[in-house]
A and B are shown apart, each in its own frame.
Chain A
Amino acid sequence: MKGKSLIDVLHEIQESNPENYVPENLAKKVSDTFKTSPAKVYGVVTFYTMFSVMPRGKHIIRVCRSLSCHLADGKKIVKKLKEELGIDFGETTEDKEFTLEESSCLGMCSIAPSMMIDDVPFGNLKEEDIPVILKKVREGVL
């Protein structure tokens, strides 16, 4: 009833940006629209893990680090992802295809270990699945 909130607008900005982040110039515009300070907007953007103030890859990989996935040997999946992508958490591959992020529970515990690539969930992951999935995403099949 109150219309779009600041967070709604930030979602829109980020979703329409191929680099998956909220750029400074737009954040400043948002602060004008909402009659608040850029610092407040920065405070909101950095509070939530789904937002970023830095350019990211075309695809965001969120791998679960919480209890159920941990108990299902999620560590191996994390290691494999880092190996295959050649990056650490918070980093983006050189070809700007993938950014790797760690995530809290994704609610996929019965098929742990799990991850999401953009909006698509993947579960019961085995190490050998990782290169296959990454290849498919890169080719745009998934």
Chain B
Amino acid sequence: MKMYRSHILVAEDSKSLSKGAKEIEELISKELRALGLDEEVLVAPTGSLGFEDIGVAIAVYPDGVIYAPVTQNDVPRIIKEHLLKGRIVKELVHEIGKKDVTVTESRAERVLSIQQRVLLKRVGVINPESIEEYIAEDGYLALENALEKGPQWVLEEVKASELRGRGGAGFPTGKKWEFTAKAKSDVKYVICNADEGEPGTFKDRVIMEGDPHLLIEGMILAGFATGANYGYIYIRGEYDLSIKRLQKAIDQARSYGFLGENILGSGFSFDIEIKKGAGAYICGEETALIESIEGKRGEPRKKPPYPPTFGLWGKPTVINNVETLANVPPIVVNGAEWFKKFGVAGSYGTKLFSLMGDVNFKGVIEIPFGVKLSSIINDVGFGIKGGKKLKGVILGGVSGSLITPNEIDTPVDFNSLALIEAGPGSGSIVVLSEDRCIVDIAKNIAYFFRHESCGKCTPCRVGTEEMYKIIDSISKGFGEVKDLERLDKLSTSMKLTSFCGLGQTAPNIIQQSLRKFREEWLEHIIERKCSANVCEFEEITEEVTNE
């Protein structure tokens, strides 16, 4: 293998690519050639370095320096100074370039101080399109370990780790696997739910774009532990780069003998196929997803029976989220006891969060369970933009929960959050500053669910529509005080009677806001006033018609 004195890694996730990362990579190669350094310095793409919100980022190794944001104009200077003369270009080193951030320490240090990288340890370090680099960083070691010790051992280890599903519901993964492992059937399946569609969530794509083999290895292990020989990755059609990188990874794994017949001579066979979604939020619901893989409309099935015993084509099926499966290889390599060193009782391990909204740092973060929400906002997110006050946090996506400033010191783990009727959900954290209007946010959420309801059951199909109409009329100044009671009742009915999780969770944030921000709703209705100055009230005329 050829040796290089330095490596330049260019973050080439889909967001960085949209900002010209490929062009930066090409320019770097050109500059290196011009200076005759192309035999000494290797340029390679990598996954997200966590700076997409400000621009293209590159990392120079072995120095471990990250430059961000890098523009075309910066490239010649970085190459000449850093790679030719060995002087780090300090002004371009990811110092915080934003005016509204006042902290002095370097961004990476601060952002990473609370984070612990278990799932993301290779993201931004290896070239995601190279299986050799994955292997060099302990890749497929878990598989080797597992094949040696047997399926029962893998199952027990995952059970002992107390890993809980990262898709939203938090069901114990080991228990789910055990149902399928015990189910008697000649055919079983593993499905990876990569239909990441909860508004405000973009964590799974970071794994799929930055470390696709981790997911593949997790799926093989799930198949091995449960006796399944075939797996599907159901991925949303919009995630083009994820699909391409995963397909490449699958092909590579097959040619190395990690996938296919008789894996590494063990007698165990497993293969994976990608199924591309076609745009439907409901397909994140596991039984709707199964229907969709079968080629049908993505409408949820009646439960029970549950997928672990009656899933795809009626066969026992393990279905896990991307992040859940990504947790499996590290558990199998290091053991359940090691895993339980991260996090807190009831919520072991680390968790990926998509941090965004009115914070100074936006992006995907990995933190152990149990860190306070306030610490995530202030220490990882560098506080609220423009030094504003916090209004609230939407946690776990638009089907999640609404957290107020006085609940902000709650530790982020399943049990602590349950005490305030919340949960980590999809891992989305949308931070809202005092300038936001709660009615406007509720309206946006209602608009989303009205569009995404699959129409199968009445409470959800009609409920989401009614909910939007009521909120829309309030936002235009035509609300009545009794509308709040109607919204509340409607929410309760939907929660109790909707067929699946979509309709049951659609009213969550809206209903919580009625209680937590009642004054603001009343202000809109009684005073026709929006303090945030977002809602546009319409003139009251003789004939008021709802559209």
0/1 string, B102-121, CB within 8 A of A gives 1 = 00000000000000000000
Task: Report if A105-B199 is in contact (Cβ < 8 Å); known contacts: A6-B295, A50-B278, A124-B19.
Answer: yes
User: Cα distance A8–B274 when bound, in Å?
Assistant: 10
Question: Which single residue of chain B is at the shortest CB-CB distance from A64?
Answer: B199
B297 x A11 contact (CB < 8 A): no
B197 x A70 contact (CB < 8 A): no
B278 x A68 contact (CB < 8 A): no
Among B249-301, those with CB < 8 Å from A are: 271, 273, 275-281, 292-298
B298 / chain A contacts, CB cutoff of 8 Å: 47-48
B237 x A110 contact (CB < 8 A): no
0/1 string, B14-34, CB within 8 A of A gives 1 = 110111000000000000000
Q: How large is the interface on A (under 10, 10 to 19, 20 to 34, 35 or more residues)?
A: 35 or more
A108 / chain B contacts, CB cutoff of 8 Å: 14-15, 18, 202
Task: Report if A109-B356 is in contact (Cβ < 8 Å); known contacts: A6-B295, A44-B295.
Answer: yes
Task: Report if A122-B18 is in contact (Cβ < 8 Å); known contacts: A11-B276, A110-B53.
Answer: yes
Q: Smallest CB–CB gap between B156 and chain A, Å?
A: 28
Query: When the two chains form the complex, which single residue of B239, B278, B293 contacts A49, counting CB atoms closer than 8 Å?
Result: B278
Task: Report if A5-B275 is in contact (Cβ < 8 Å); known contacts: A47-B298, A68-B200.
Answer: yes
Query: When the two chains form the complex, which single residue of B292, B297, B357 contacts A71, counting CB atoms closer than 8 Å?
Result: B357
B448 x A5 contact (CB < 8 A): no
A67 within 8 Å of B by Cβ?
yes
Question: Which single residue of chain B is at the shortest CB-CB distance from A44?
Answer: B297
B295 x A109 contact (CB < 8 A): no
A111 x B18 contact (CB < 8 A): yes
A128 within 8 Å of B by Cβ?
no
B362 within 8 Å of A by Cβ?
yes
Question: Which single residue of chain B is at the shortest CB-CB distance from A43?
Answer: B297
B362 x A107 contact (CB < 8 A): no
Q: Smallest CB–CB gap between A9 and chain B, Å?
A: 8
Among A82-113, those with CB < 8 Å from B are: 103-112
Among B434-459, those with CB < 8 Å from A are: 436, 441, 444-445, 447-448, 451-452, 454
B445 x A67 contact (CB < 8 A): yes
B279 x A110 contact (CB < 8 A): no
Task: Report if A67-B197 is in contact (Cβ < 8 Å); known contacts: A48-B279, A124-B19.
Answer: no
User: Cα distance A103–B15 when bound, in Å?
Assistant: 17
B279 / chain A contacts, CB cutoff of 8 Å: 48-51, 103
A5 / chain B contacts, CB cutoff of 8 Å: 275, 293-295
B196 within 8 Å of A by Cβ?
yes
A65 / chain B contacts, CB cutoff of 8 Å: 444, 447-448
0/1 string, A8-45, CB within 8 A of B gives 1 = 10110000000000000000000000100000000110
A119 within 8 Å of B by Cβ?
yes
A11 / chain B contacts, CB cutoff of 8 Å: 237, 276, 278
Task: Report if A109-B292 is in contact (Cβ < 8 Å); known contacts: A51-B278, A67-B441, A121-B15.
Answer: no
Q: Smallest CB–CB gap between B233 and chain A, Å?
A: 14
Task: Report if A110-B430 is in contact (Cβ < 8 Å); known contacts: A7-B295, A8-B275, A105-B198.
Answer: no
Q: Smallest CB–CB gap between A3 and chain B, Å?
A: 10
Task: Report if A109-B18 is in contact (Cβ < 8 Å); known contacts: A6-B295, A49-B280.
Answer: no
Task: Report if A109-B14 is in contact (Cβ < 8 Å); known contacts: A49-B280, A62-B238, A67-B445.
Answer: no
Task: Report if A67-B200 is in contact (Cβ < 8 Å); known contacts: A104-B448, A109-B354.
Answer: yes
Query: When the two chains form the complex, which single residue of A10, A68, A116, A122 contacts B356, counting CB atoms closer than 8 Å?
Result: A68
A132 within 8 Å of B by Cβ?
no
User: Cα distance A8–B357 when bound, in Å?
Assistant: 36
User: Cα distance A104–B280 when bound, in Å?
Assistant: 9
B238 x A2 contact (CB < 8 A): no
B52 x A111 contact (CB < 8 A): yes
Query: When the two chains form the complex, which single residue of A47, A106, A122 contacts B238, counting CB atoms closer than 8 Å?
Result: A106
Task: Report if A107-B205 is in contact (Cβ < 8 Å); known contacts: A66-B444, A67-B394, A116-B238.
Answer: yes
Q: A10, A50, A105: which has the most chain B beta carbons within 10 Å? A: A105
* 17 pairs, A vs B, C-beta closer than 8 Å: A1-B230, A2-B313, A5-B293, A11-B276, A11-B278, A34-B295, A44-B296, A48-B280, A50-B237, A66-B199, A71-B430, A103-B279, A105-B448, A110-B53, A111-B53, A120-B240, A124-B19
Beyond the given A65-B447, A71-B358, please list 14 additional residue pairs across the A-B interface where CB-CB is below 8 A: A1-B230, A5-B275, A7-B278, A48-B277, A67-B394, A67-B430, A71-B430, A103-B238, A105-B197, A105-B448, A107-B238, A109-B428, A120-B18, A121-B18
The 8 A-B residue pairs with the shortest CB-CB distance, nearest first, are: A5-B295, A48-B278, A6-B295, A49-B279, A50-B279, A66-B199, A105-B199, A119-B240
